Amino acid sequence: MQQRRWLTAAMAAGLGGAAMAAQAGTVTVLTSFPKELTTAYQKAFEAANPGIKIEILNKNTTAAVAYVRELPEGQRPDIMWASAPDAFEVLARNKLLTAAPETRNPAAPAKIGNYPLNDPQGLYYGQALAGYGIMWNTRYLKAHKLAAPKEWSDLTRPEYFGHIAISSPSRSGTTQLTVETILQGEGWDKGWRQLLSMMGNAAAVTDRSFAVPDGVNNGQYGIGIVIDFFGLAGKYSGFPVDFAYPAMTAVVPANIALIAGAKNADEARKFMAFTMSVPGQQLLFDPKISRLPILPYSQLKAPAGYPVPQEVAQRAKVQFDANLSESRYAVVISLFDQMVTFRLKELQAATRAIQEAHKALQAKPNAKGQELLAQARDIAYSPLVGEANVKDEQFLELFRKSRRDVAVSKELTGLEQMWADKARANYERAAKLAAEARGLAR
């Protein structure tokens, strides 16, 4: 009965007609989501609410957070809609979100695995669910005689050199979550070692997250590190691709929230409620969208064989900590850029030299060569910032400050330049050590 009353209320909110037209306005939705998703929701909601218009403002998650923080009250968009829970933590901490508890669907579970679906303070709400993993082009792998990777550690193997694509976490909130999931699952030092070894095999680090699945779908890349809906959308849209969740993954909510100072808060609430209603959740199964819903499948019509979020969450080995992720958010994305995005060629060269030395030493073992090779790996794949630093509140606070402050900007720029120089020197040194090790195997 309670569920029926909620659905009746949701229908009233979502299907209001002429009576609501006088209050109608334009709802501006700030989102990192692709056009296929936003257009579907825009059309469905506007058809049910002819007096309300949905305006989509598309920005990557990092840029979206900065955009909201920089605008004064009264000029901000109405809704924030994105996959990264830690981005919402940043907005909440800066008092840029407003609670909208009436938009929640009580039929949704309180948790996914051990992870809360909604913000405990009620400032943002889980609208869909997402995990992180690996997609691959089946034809590409067959042509290159490569096995399908299933775990992150698989991507460190030399046979995948030049076949992997990832987007930069500073440009993609979903990639930042993937990186953070590995760091939390493996630990800071081991996690970075694995990430850098994987990235040494990368063919590209793209500016936008969409470029990775597009490249895998069309065979430009063999393998992509992606959020699950990119892989599932390709698969269910008929591309020759498949997707796997590694054991070291997490299932977390993609969130929606009412921005503080929204111009059309009432209409915005109606849109939020629609996205969490049964009709709004059913849209997630559209092959071009392919996201995991928050509602139980008993209330929806899921495609055959579609992943069940609770089952994926039960298998996942990472209990994602959004507070930890948020606390070191800026440090992680900056480190990744300085060690990987801006130094990819040097990292690739060091990785290739390490792989060639390893192969040579397998064929002709040499103790000194193995020692040099171990040194090369340590130099190439160790993070530039130790775990103690990312537990230092003073160090973290520097990265939370605004770069508009000249002194802050100067300090951060100098630190990042030091990291960039150190990364370049490390990769060059590692490549030389690996070449020396290889020489001893002749």
Three-class DSSP category at 242:
strand
CA distance 442 to 437: 10
Find where tokens 């609770």 sit.
310
Mean pLDDT, residues 55-64 taken together: 92
pLDDT band at residue 7 using 50, 70 and 90 as cut-offs: very low
Across all residues in the chain, what is the average pLDDT? 91
Query: What pLDDT score does 258 carry?
Result: 98
Cα 214 off chain centre by: 16
Q: What percent of the chain has pLDDT over 70?
A: 95
Instruction: For the beta carbon of residue 121, count every other beta carbon within 10 angstroms.
Output: 9
Residue 16 has a pLDDT of: 41
Other Cβ atoms within 10 Å of 409 Cβ, number: 13
CB within 8 A of 27, min separation 6: which ones? 52, 53, 54, 55, 78, 79, 264, 267, 268, 271
Lowest-confidence pick of 136-140, 143-147, 163-167, 327-331:
327-331
The pLDDT value recorded for residue 371 is: 97
- pLDDT at residue 404 greater than cutoff 70: yes
Q: Is-contact 411 398, C-beta < 8 A?
A: yes
The pLDDT tens digits for 95-109 are 999 999 999 999 999
Tokens of 295: 């509602």
Q: Tell me which of 400 and 242 has the higher pLDDT.
A: 242
List, for residues 263-319, the tens digit of each pLDDT value. 899 999 999 999 999 999 999 999 999 999 999 999 999 998 899 998 988 888 888
The pLDDT, as a whole number, for residue 24 is 53
Confidence (pLDDT) at 4: 42
Q: What is the mean pLDDT of residues 344-362?
A: 97
Task: Please report, to the nearest 10 degrees, the dihedral formed by the alpha carbons of residues 280, 283, 285, 290 taken in order.
Answer: -100
As a dihedral over the C-alpha atoms of residue 163, residue 36, residue 264, residue 23, rounded to 10 degrees, the angle is -170
Confidence of residue 349 (pLDDT cuts 50, 70, 90): very high
Give me the residue spans of the domains in the chain.
26-128+253-315, 342-441
Q: What is the model's pLDDT at position 156?
A: 98
Please report the pLDDT score of residue 57 as a whole number.
Answer: 97
Quick: pLDDT tens for 372-393.
999 999 999 999 999 999 999 9
Mean pLDDT score, 40-62:
95
- Res 436 pLDDT > 90: yes
Structure tokens at 360: 């040579």
Residue 19 pLDDT > 90, yes or no? no
With bands split at pLDDT 50, 70 and 90, how would you rate the model's confidence at 86? confident
pLDDT of 115:
84
**Fold category of 26-128+253-315 in CATH:** D-Maltodextrin-Binding Protein; domain 2 (3.40.190)
Report pTM.
Answer: 0.82
